[in-house]
Amino acid sequence: MLLDVDGMKCGGCVRSVERTLLDQPGVCEASVNLVTRSAWLRFEEDAVADLAGVVEALTARGFSAHPRETDAFGSSVEADRSWGWWQQWRQLIVALVLLVLSVVGHLAEAGTVQVPPLGSLPFHAGLATVALVGPGRPILIAGWRSARMGVPTMDTLVSLGVGSAYLASLVALVWPQVGWPCFFNEPVMLLGFVLLGRFLEERARRRTGRALQDLAALQPDGARLLMDDGTIREVSVSALRPGECVQLLAGDRVPVDGIVREGHSAVDLSSLTGEPLPLDASPGAELSSGSLNLEATLIVEVQRIGRETALARIIDLVEQAQARKAPIQGLADRVAGQFCYAVVSFAILTFLFWWQVGCRLWPHVLDVPVALMDHGHAHGLHGSLGAGAETSLGLALQLSIAVLVVACPCALGLATPTVITVSSGLAAKQGWLFRGGDVIELAASVQRMVFDKTGTLTLGRPLVDSVLASEDPPQALQLAASLEQTSRHPLAHALLQEAQRLQLPLLGVESSRTTPGAGMEGRLQGVDGLVRVGSPEWLRDQGVFWTEQQQQALDSVVQRGQSLVAVALAETPLGLVTVDDRLRPDASLAIQRLRDQGQSVAMLSGDRRQTVERVGRELGFADADLAWQLLPHQKLERLELLREQGSVAMVGDGINDAPALAAADLGIAVGTGTQIAQDTADLVLLGDRLEAVPEALCLARRTMSKIRQNLIWAFGYNLIALPIAAGVLLPGFGLLLSPPLAALLMAFSSVSVVLNALSLRLR
């Protein structure tokens, strides 16, 4: 279940939302993403899902929430975000206008600008008041509400800093005997820089979800409905129903999941699966919504619409993946949850130290100018906070406010989810569906890859490899395919497919008889004699004898582990057709790339020994890494043994692979496999490219590298910035941070984390 949650600003907010969700009856698991403003929660199996109670509890905490819309591709959510974006832009413009007026007033007070009214204290007091009740009002309200609920957030820290500066200025204005200047310009500048930083952060953060928006944009709004009388009507996609037919012109996006009924065309699947080559769509071919018709007109029967389509399922999986956090984020969230308490305590200690102790130990610190915002002296009664302060109280107040403002739980809260959001979006564009941040972390640490053979390393369907020991290979293949055209055996399908590829005409069948497990015999139109197709042993029992050369070819094929179909006319052998499940074209390259990445590889199969060993030799597997004729439970037992040596990923595609996929540390299903395999796996690779396995693991490792960089930066920034803001460099080096500079540093910290996450797109 996904909820959209508004009002989250930092890691403290994330921690508060998660605690609130986990406190609700029936909720057994919850994960919150600060970037996408979403929460993923899972209810206990026997619990009644009380969504209304969950939403009400979040609202009481100051976080408005609602269930994720399921009837459209995020259009309503995007509308809400666009409105929030406009509100942020409007607040920023007002704050920047006030900031400019404050700077001009400060220059007028210094005599640089000859506009005396702008330099008066009432003018600056008015600007500060407008800033607080205007663009600063949402921050003050949110900060106070969070503090009252016992879950302080970034808004709480900013509110304390802005409110302290404003109240201190009022005290200095009304009671000049306190001995420090008025600094009404500080709240204005603080709010301006904080809002500017949040605006830039939001702008960068919106880019992290662009991949998901691009996927949603693949869903067209309209379709060309084919009526019973043959006419075409333009209708909304939501109005379509299964069983109806739609017309696709060249250049149209497929609006639904459906089956081609008429027409031949090339269809581009790259947007969904990353496949570079188009699909040759003909009657009977299945098409997924979002794919692109390239060449000719198609008539497609609707199978699934709306949220049931493949495109909608991909988007749902990506949204859930972005909401489910990686385990590495746990430390950052735990720290961020207590961070605000620590910062407030540190600010109080800073204030008490400089008020009662610091200025007595180092009296000269009262003459140190404020970095960035000071002109070297205070002008009248109005100046930068701490500039030329006459008392220790003024300096202590400035430093404590700087501590409140420079602290950045936002960077801690954004460090992991921004990277997970970018990574899962990039993966979805390639057709790789990670089911969560925890899966990405697992994929980055897996040490051993175990492959199923049939349908994973191989194509999963028998194909004719060659025709041996035959004087006329086309004739042998034509007779075999003609006789087998009435059979549904997989080998018969391989013969028919090869005859079609070679454009061999099929002869009519006059009569036929099947011997189960052995072969087929019958008479064909225009052919004198009985045609037999089957195993060599069966044909030998029917009186067909092989020459010495043919027997050598037969023995060679048996040793290679290939399937063999013998063809004879009466008692005369015509040839041997070898049928094999071929390797995927990129299987060898994919295995080699995994080895180059340091992975050890193994293969578990239910196929016979000769076939498994032949495939193993072709792909360079050691004998110890091969196992054959395994039942599903035996695959599971082998996998458990391998897990004792380190983390294991299982790559499979069939129903018999589902238990192993579920038991492995990382289950990987190829997208051409069965639905149950895809539902069981942690990572689904759409399309036919096996190279996607090493590529997806490489992306996972890059993702974890970016997360570690972000966490190091977020922790490192706060460990360095907080002591500097508290004045640790003031006595020895004369370095002092003003609150506006602290606000700029805080904003830079948050923005840099998001930009580092976006750098994943550069490779």
Q: Say which residues have a Cβ less than 8 Å from residue 467's Cβ, sequence separation at least 6.
A: 473, 476, 477, 575, 576, 577, 578
Contacts for 564 with CB less than 8 Å, ≥ 6 apart:
535, 536, 554, 557, 558, 576, 577, 578, 579
In the numeric block, the tokens 């008015």 are attached to 126
CB 281 within 8 A of CB 262: no
Task: Show the 3-state SS of 587-622.
Answer: HHHHHHHHHHCCCEEEEECCCCHHHHHHHHHHHCCC
Question: Alpha-carbon torsion 200, 202, 208, 213, what sign?
Answer: negative
Task: Provide the 10 A C-beta neighbour count for residue 286.
Answer: 13
Backbone dihedral angles phi then psi of residue 89, each to the nearest 5 degrees = -65, -40
Q: Tokens 């994973």 appear where?
A: 456
* Distances 68 to 5, 71, 78, 80 between C-alpha atoms, Å: 9, 9, 12, 12
- Amino acid at position 11, single letter: G
Tokens, residue 183: 């600094």
| 452 included as an active-site residue | yes
Q: Assess contact for 452 and 653: CB atoms under 8 A.
A: yes
Pick the closest to residue 337 from 538, 152, 85, 74 (CA basis).
152
Distance of CA 234 to the CA centre of its chain: 35
The label of the residue with tokens 């220790």 reads: 392
> From CA 64, how far away is CA 87, in angstroms rounded?
16
Q: 271 with 209: CB under 8 angstroms?
A: no
Locate 47 and state its tokens. Answer: 């619990």
Helix (H, G, I), strand (E, B), or coil: what is residue 649?
Answer: strand
Helices and strands, counts by H and E, the chain: 28, 26
Q: What is the CA radius of gyration of the chain?
A: 35
| Nearby residues of 51 by Cβ (< 8 Å), 6 or more positions away | 1, 67
Separation of alpha carbons 682 and 667, rounded Å:
5
Residue of 155, 452, 465, 665 marked active site: 452
Residue type, 684: V
Q: Helical H runs in 209-298? A: 210-217, 270-273
Helix (H) or strand (E) holding 684: strand 683-685
- Greatest Cα pair distance, the chain, in angstroms, is 124
8 A C-beta contact, residue 64 and residue 151:
no
Beta-bridged to residue 379, according to DSSP, are: 382
Residues contacting residue 555 through CB under 8 Å, at least 6 positions apart: none
Report the residue count for the chain: 763
**CA–CA distance from 352 to each of 326, 349, 719 (Å)?**
40, 5, 20
Token duo for residue 309: 């389509």
**Token representation of residue 558:** 């048996």
Which residues are catalytic, by number?
452
